[in-house]
């Protein structure tokens, strides 16, 4: 057992659920310390960025915002396309903003070198609802564990600086960089091609797997991924070259919670509807499942409160989410059903 393994074991016994490590994590950088919606304007050659699909960028950009005192600030940045599935289906692709350290010193974006932005994809309320629900998933996972990415809601005006036209305001949200998430816990961003399930700690990974089960998401892999980088829709953080490592999830648009019309389950799952839950945790972590199960049951009211606080979502949408989550908690409360659908459904 490594020193970190021993400390984690002690912390699990002594700390309240949802906390990790031997010490409390550091606070997020200012941008992600608040949960209020941020109004910004991003000036960039948007028409070129959207049309030149073979050219990811970067493109020069300016990000404008007003501080609490109403003073307007403009920050130099670059913007580029990112993503896989949404690159194919979105007229407005997901983007990545990058900043120079000196340019953001003393600004709201201080401490951020790179920020992922989930955009509206296409015009229309349906698309806005998709990504409001996806942002909700991140906020729920923030409650489940501190080993999670913080998010910040935005309304964005996209000013095309080559045509002086504005598209907006549009809903979007920013995602904390994986390096910053690791830094909060004194851990490193790991770039490994693959790992063994035994490198993942049982309790934290059981939280990870049950969260995916809560939101009905099977589109993830914490062990390997396409190309040279692990993993699929998860980032690894840990002490460099030491066990254990932790998987931090992202990208939930293929979940039953979001229920995007373009998302389809893979054939190997044996289901046709993306909203049907399939547990994809590993059997090697089953010794952490009962504790994680009790944690989720204990935080049911808090999760419902998080849903209710998402005032960007309509009451009809919040009601749908409550019903979907209610199905999950019914499974967790029933010993036989939990054993049949979760424990017995684990991957060898």
| pLDDT at residue 10 in the model | 33
Distance CA 124, CA 335 (A): 42
| pLDDT at residue 20 in the model | 40
Distance CA 37, CA 285 (A): 38
Q: Cis omega before residue 244 (within 30°)?
A: yes
**Closest among 100, 102, 170, 181 to 138, alpha carbons compared:** 181
Mean pLDDT over 67-89 rounds to 91
Q: Kindly indicate the confidence band of residue 241, based on its pLDDT and cuts at 50, 70 and 90.
A: low
Query: Which 3 state secondary structure label does DSSP give 157?
Result: strand
Q: Cis omega before residue 231 (within 30°)?
A: yes
| pLDDT at residue 3 in the model | 36
Longest dimension (CA), the chain: 62
pTM for the predicted model, two decimal places: 0.91
Is pLDDT above 50 for 312?
yes
Is pLDDT above 50 for 320?
yes
> Tens digits of per-residue pLDDT, 36-64?
999 999 999 999 999 988 888 899 999 99
| Range among 12-21, 227-236, 250-259 rated most confident | 250-259
What DSSP designation does 49 have? H
Is pLDDT above 80 for 193?
yes
Q: Kindly indicate the confidence band of residue 1, based on its pLDDT and cuts at 50, 70 and 90.
A: very low
All structural domains of the chain with their residue ranges = 30-178, 192-345
**Closest among 160, 122, 127, 132 to 44, alpha carbons compared:** 160
What DSSP designation does 250 have? -
Q: Which two tokens stand for residue 334?
A: 């029933």
Mean pLDDT over 119-137 rounds to 96
Q: Which two tokens stand for residue 16?
A: 């309240």
């Amino acid at each position: 057992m490594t020193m970190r393994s021993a400390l984690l074991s002690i912390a699990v016994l002594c700390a309240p659920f949802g906390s990790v490590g031997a010490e409390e994590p550091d606070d997020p950088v200012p941008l992600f310390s608040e949960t209020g919606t941020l109004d910004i304007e991003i000036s960039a050659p948007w028409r070129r960025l959207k049309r030149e699909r073979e050219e990811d960028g970067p493109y020069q950009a300016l990000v404008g915002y007003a501080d609490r005192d109403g003073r307007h600030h403009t920050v130099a940045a670059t913007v580029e396309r990112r993503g896989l599935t949404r690159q194919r289906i979105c007229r407005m692709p997901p983007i990545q903003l990058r900043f120079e350290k000196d340019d953001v010193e003393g600004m709201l974006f201080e401490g951020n070198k790179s920020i992922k932005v989930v955009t509206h994809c296409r015009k229309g309320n349906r698309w806005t609802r998709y990504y409001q629900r996806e942002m909700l998933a991140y906020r729920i996972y923030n409650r489940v564990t501190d080993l999670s990415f913080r998010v910040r809601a935005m309304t964005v005006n996209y000013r095309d600086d080559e045509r002086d036209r504005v598209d907006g305001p549009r809903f979007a949200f920013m995602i904390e960089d994986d390096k910053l998430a690791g830094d909060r816990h004194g851990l490193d961003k790991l770039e490994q091609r693959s790992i063994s399930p035994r490198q993942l700690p049982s309790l934290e990974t059981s939280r990870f797997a049950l969260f995916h089960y809560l939101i009905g998401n099977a589109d993830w892999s914490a062990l390997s991924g396409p190309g040279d980088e692990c993993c699929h829709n998860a980032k690894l953080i840990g002490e460099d070259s030491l066990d254990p490592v932790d998987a931090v999830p992202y990208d939930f648009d293929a979940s039953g919670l979001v229920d995007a019309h373009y998302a389809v389950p893979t054939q190997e799952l044996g289901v046709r509807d993306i909203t049907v839950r399939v547990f994809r945790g590993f059997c090697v972590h089953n010794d952490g499942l009962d504790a994680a199960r009790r944690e989720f049951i204990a935080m049911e009211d808090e999760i419902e409160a998080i849903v209710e606080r998402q005032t960007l979502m309509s009451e009809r949408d919040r009601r749908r989410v409550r019903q979907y989550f209610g199905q999950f908690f019914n499974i967790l409360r029933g010993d036989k059903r939990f054993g049949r659908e979760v424990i017995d459904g684990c991957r060898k």
